[in-house]
Chains A and B, each alone.
Chain A
Amino acid sequence: MQAGSNFLNGVPELLILRLLRDREMYGYELVQAIRAATRDEILLAEGVVYPVLHALERDGALAARRQTVNGRSRIYSRVPPAGGERLAGLAEHWRRLNAAIAAILEEPGHVRSPA
């Protein structure tokens, strides 16, 4: 699934926060972790993670530190407590959405068309 449609808005944020909650990572590492964790089901455009990281960092949902490795400057991100709260909110939202879609898939009859 290509993560570019409006329907998937919020997915990169959710994935990033969830993966960074376990351990701090830098951008490239994070993209590889997303590919591995979703078994390539969700293919983010590789550059997309950085604006999301910037936005989360700006909102205080991520903390970053810079480290030079092999001559390249890496920015490692981790999830502070505020980011954990945001992750919980996003996860809850997606669970509800998932349950709603699952219900429609199982019993589509209960969805009424407007009179």
Chain B
Amino acid sequence: MSDPLPELSERLLRQGLSPARVRRYVRELRDHRDDLAEHLEAGGLSPAAARAEAQRRLGDAQALALPMLTHRGFRSRVSRFPALFYLGLPLSAQLGFALAGILALALLAGTPLRPLLADLGTLTALSWLGAPVLSGWALLAMSRRRRGGRFWPLLGGSAGVLLATALQLEVAMPGAAESGEIAVALAVPAPLPAALLLALTLLPMSLPLLRNLVR
């Protein structure tokens, strides 16, 4: 008899239960089945017969999945509010990160690091471009772990890239007669950097394909 627990696990994840809950449920069922098989074996059944009977009494994947799927409260927040978790929160975090960078630059302007402000501005702008890549990878990993589709991580990753490439940062050092300036603007993203950044963000999606090609 094949083990129904891996199939059960996949099924529950695909239906939007959180990985932690699925992991716990499957572990409880596995331990229960082992306890029951031990008990039956102690009662005189052969190991194979005890295991088969324990599995029969536990139920098949369909019977074990149903009570978890009918309880709406078991569905994870991510599966109930994908727009929030794949789009709203990452974009908010990205904006917060950008604001923190601007604030840090403004504060550093009043410190002995002031002469390095232009370089620090460049680093900040680069980090703004790196943020959506990391965020996009995290979204893809999150979706993969939850057996989610590709739509929301793709949308979230693309939106992050558009925001990052639209944000423009310029740091002008003070001259003899004029004060310095930290300027931030939103502009239409340049197609090439946006496409490159998007390709980098979505790179993990092509890894299975690359692995197959290498084989």
Contact = CB atoms under 8 A, between A and B. Distances in A.
A73 interface: yes
Interface in B141-162: none
A28 B31 contact: yes
Contacts of B71: 51, 54-55
B211 interface: no
A46 B34 contact: no
B32 A28 contact: yes
B215 interface: no
B66 to A, nearest CB: 9
A50 B66 CA distance: 12
B80 to A, nearest CB: 14
Interface string B46-76: 0000000000011100011001100101100
Q: Is chain A's interface secondary structure helix, strand, loop, or mixed overall?
A: helix
B50 to A, nearest CB: 14
A73 B73 contact: no
A8 B71 CA distance: 17
Given A45-B63, A46-B36, A52-B67, 15 more contacts: A45-B57, A46-B32, A46-B57, A46-B58, A48-B67, A50-B29, A50-B32, A51-B68, A54-B24, A55-B71, A55-B74, A58-B73, A58-B74, A73-B31, A74-B31
Interface in B95-131: none
A47 interface: yes
Interface of A: 27-28, 31, 45-48, 50-52, 54-55, 58, 72-75
A99 to B, nearest CB: 29
A65 B109 CA distance: 53
27 contacts: A27-B28, A28-B36, A31-B32, A45-B58, A45-B63, A46-B57, A46-B58, A47-B29, A47-B32, A47-B58, A47-B63, A47-B64, A48-B59, A48-B67, A50-B28, A50-B32, A51-B25, A51-B67, A51-B71, A54-B21, A54-B24, A55-B71, A55-B74, A72-B31, A73-B27, A75-B24, A75-B28
Contacts of B63: 45, 47
Contacts, number: 54
Interface residues of B, number: 21
A16 to B, nearest CB: 13
A50 B71 CA distance: 12
Contacts of A72: 31, 34-35
Interface in B14-28: 21, 24-25, 27-28
B142 to A, nearest CB: 22
Contacts of B59: 45-48
A54 B24 CA distance: 10
Nearest to A51: B67
Nearest to A32: B39
Nearest to A12: B67
A63 to B, nearest CB: 15
Nearest to A58: B73
A27 B25 contact: no
